[in-house]
Amino acid sequence: VGFGHVGKAFLGLVREKREWLKTHYSLELRLQALLVSAGGLFSESGITPRDFTEKAGPDLNLSSLWRPGLNVVSALGKTKPGIFVECTPSNIQTGEPGLTHIRDALKAGWHVVTANKGPLVVDLKGLRSLAGKNSLALKFSAAAAAALPTLDTALHSLAGAEILSIEGILNGTTNYVLTQMGEGTGYPEALREAQEKGIAEHDPRLDVEGWDTAAKTLIIGNSVLGLELALGDIKVEGITRIPPELPIRARQEGKAIKLLGRLGRSGGCWEAAVSPQLIERSHPLFGVNGTNKGISYTTDSMGTVTVTGGKSDPRGAAAAILKDIIHIFARVQ
Ligand code: HSE
C-alpha cells in the first residue's frame, strides 16, 4: 500500500532480486495487490511489473488490472493472508491512514512490514498487542532509520547487555544539510538537494524541525527499551535556527554540528531529546556525513557499540522492508 518513492523502490528491488531471493532464501515473492488512495491493482496469480510500468506507465489507473475504489479491507479479504507492506506517507500526529491499514491487516491475519512511522508513533503498544494476540509479525526496520540497523543491532546483537544510553544521527536530510553547510553551501540550496534525492519528508519541515528524528527516537526507545514515550515527552529542537557560519566554523576547528536524537537516564527516569550538538572528533558519530546516519549504544557489558552508514534513500528503505520480509519468512517457515 502506497506507491511513492519507497513503494516504487521496493517493487523495483523485488524485481531486481527475484532470482537471488530464490537462490539464497528459497523465497519467491508474489505481489497480489498494489493499492493507492483511489483504488488499486489486484491479481490472484500475481501482478507483474509489466502490469504497472510498461503498460500503465506511472499511472496505475491505466493498467488493465486497475480496480477503482479497491481498498485495503476488500483487497485483504480477496486472498490467503501473507505479508502486508505499508508505505503510505507518515503522519506522526494521527498515524493515519497507515494506522487503520495496519490494524485491518493484523485483524485479517496478515503479517505487517511498515516503512510508515506514524502508526508506530501513535500506537506501537496497541499494534504490538494486536499482532501478538494473532501470532503475527509486526516489523518496522524501515521506519527506524531504514538501512541503518538500529533495531536489529539492539534487539539481537546486544541481547543480554543493558543499554544505558543511546545517541543517533537518524535523519539523512538534516545530516546532509549540515554537512553541506559545513562546506559553505547555503541552507536553502542544501535542503533542495536533499529533496531532489527523494529522502526529505513530504513536508520537509518534519526533517529540519527535528520531528522525523524525534519519531525515530521514540520508536527506538519504545521498542528497544520498552518505554512508553509520546511525542510530547520529547524536547525537540531542529536545525532551522543554526547560523550559517556555525557549521563552517565547527569544521575549521575540527568539530562538527550534528542533529542528535538522544535517550538517557536522569534521576532514574528515561529522557528523550532531539537537538543540534557540537561534537568533537573523538565522538563515535563524528565521521557520519552526508545522507549517512549512525547510532551509538552505550551498554553495561559490551561497551559502546556504534553502527554507521545506512544512508537515507528510497532504495535503502526498500532494502529494510525486504530484510524484514526475509526475517518473517525465516521465522514462519
Ligand atoms: N526523511 C527521512 C530522512 C527519510 O531524511 O532520513 C525517511 O525516514
114 in contact with ligand 1, CB cutoff 6 A: no
| % of the chain at pLDDT higher than 70 | 98
Ligand 1, residues 203, 212, 289, 291: which to mutate, most atoms within 8 A of Cβ?
212
Atom in ligand 1 nearest the alpha carbon of residue 200: 1
Given this model, what pLDDT does residue 198 score?
Answer: 84
Given this model, what pLDDT does residue 180 score?
Answer: 97
CA of 240 from ligand 1 middle (Å) equals 16
200 in contact with ligand 1, CB cutoff 6 A: yes
Given this model, what pLDDT does residue 333 score?
Answer: 55
58 is written with which cell numbers? Answer: 506511472
Could you read off the pLDDT of 41-95 as tens digits, one per residue?
999 999 987 787 655 556 888 899 999 999 999 999 999 999 999 999 999 999 9
Mean pLDDT of 143-172: 97
268-272 contact pairs (CB < 8 A, 24+): 270/221, 270/225, 270/227, 270/229, 272/214, 272/217, 272/218, 272/221, 272/227, 272/229, 272/233, 272/234, 272/235
Given this model, what pLDDT does residue 318 score?
Answer: 97
User: For the chain, what is the mean pLDDT?
Assistant: 95
Given this model, what pLDDT does residue 59 score?
Answer: 81
71 is written with which cell numbers? Answer: 481498498
CA of 201 from ligand 1 middle (Å) equals 6
Given this model, what pLDDT does residue 294 score?
Answer: 98
Could you read off the pLDDT of 193-224 as tens digits, one per residue?
999 988 898 899 999 999 999 999 999 999 99
Given this model, what pLDDT does residue 250 score?
Answer: 98
CA of 171 from ligand 1 middle (Å) equals 5
CA of 118 from ligand 1 middle (Å) equals 13
175 in contact with ligand 1, CB cutoff 6 A: no
173 in contact with ligand 1, CB cutoff 6 A: yes
Given this model, what pLDDT does residue 56 score?
Answer: 57
Above 90 in pLDDT, residue 259? yes
Catalytic residues, which ones? 216
